[in-house]
Amino acid sequence: MTLHPDLTLPASDELDSLTPEELAARLNGLSGTLAERLGIELLTASRERLTARMPVEGNRQPAGRLHGGASLALAEELASIGTWLHLDVRRQVGVGVDVSGTHVRGVSEGWVTAEATLAYRGRTVMVWTVEVRDERGRTTTLARCTCNVVTHSAG
C-alpha cells in the first residue's frame, strides 16, 4: 500500500503533547487529495473528536445547494483521519468502508463546519458520528462513518 508522500503523523508521545489546533495544522494541506479539492480545512484534531470546515462555493449541486456527496466526503475525511490517529501508520491504515447520512437542511452559501466524535473503537473497526452545521449553527447533515483498520507491509 502506497501512502501519500507528505503524510507524516506524529509519534504517539508527540501526539499527546500537541493541542488539537496544533495537530490539525500539521494534518492540513495534503496536495492531490479530495480534501484539498473540496477545500476542507481541519480546525481541531484529537483521537476522540475532530472538527473541520468546508466552503459551499465550489461544492454545490446543480440546484445551487451544497452537494450531499460533499457533506459525506467531509464526514469520511474526519472519520478516516480520526481513525489514523489511533494507529501505527508504519503498518496500519484506516479506510472508510461505510458512510451514510441524512441531509436535514440545505445550505446555499458560506461555510459548513463538521464535528466528528468517536462512537466505537474496536481492534479492526471504528465508528464515528459526524454532525455538519451551517454558519448559524443549524444542523445540515447527520452522518455515520465506519472505518476498517487494514494491516499492510512496512516495505
Catalytic positions are 76
| Grid cell in block for residue 20 | 488539537
User: Which one-letter DSSP state was computed for residue 112?
Assistant: E
Distance of alpha carbon 56 from its chain centroid, rounded? Answer: 17
Q: Are 53 and 140 in contact (CB under 8 A)?
A: no
